[in-house]
Amino acid sequence: MATNFDDLMDMQMDEIEDLPPMGVPPTGHYNLLVTATREERDGGNEYIKFAYTIESVNEVKNVAEESQAAVGMKFTEFFSPLKKDGTVNEFGMKFLKQTMAPFAAHFGGSSFSAVLESINKVSIAASLVRVVDKKEADRFNFRLSDVIIL
């Protein structure tokens, strides 16, 4: 592949692969690679980030949306154990517990930190339901269920 600007601009466009679809994939069943990390927000509270990469598209519920899912597609989910004011985010902790439960059952560990350490490039199979964000109509959120550690 070309290494300088002029060589890159002289390349044929079909020499570069197309981008995979981006964002939350449509409702369906997928094999995903998952990594969870503890992150720091500039000037704010820490949070937990789950990063997902599609390894296999097993089923897309709506055939018209099949082009919106592809191997290599990446999307994320965030959990905030603390609210902006520094108080405990009870619902956030409940959602985090629900998301971490399959990993805790598979790897063991009863504390959030112990389970978090085990979620590093873990392959799973899961059903995903894509939902429209309540605050931003052009943004999607998702829920995973039937999570199986592969």
Q: What confidence score (pLDDT) does residue 21 get?
A: 75
Task: Confirm if 31 and 56 have CB atoms less than 8 A apart.
Answer: yes
Tell me the pTM: 0.86
pLDDT in tens, the chain (150 residues): 678 899 989 989 998 888 777 899 999 999 999 999 999 988 778 999 999 999 999 999 999 999 999 999 999 999 999 998 989 999 999 999 999 999 999 999 899 999 999 999 999 999 999 999 999 988 999 999 999 999
Residues 6+ apart with CB under 8 A from 4: none
Task: Confirm if 149 and 106 have CB atoms less than 8 A apart.
Answer: yes
User: Tokens representing 69?
Assistant: 């899912």
Q: What confidence score (pLDDT) does residue 44 get?
A: 79
CA atoms within 13 A on the CB side of 6: 0
Query: How far is 12 from 89, CA to CA, in rounded Å?
Result: 51
DSSP one-letter code for 85: T
Alpha-carbon distances of 17 from 12, 13, 121, rounded to whole Å: 11, 9, 25
Instruction: Delimit the domains of the chain by residue range.
Output: 26-149
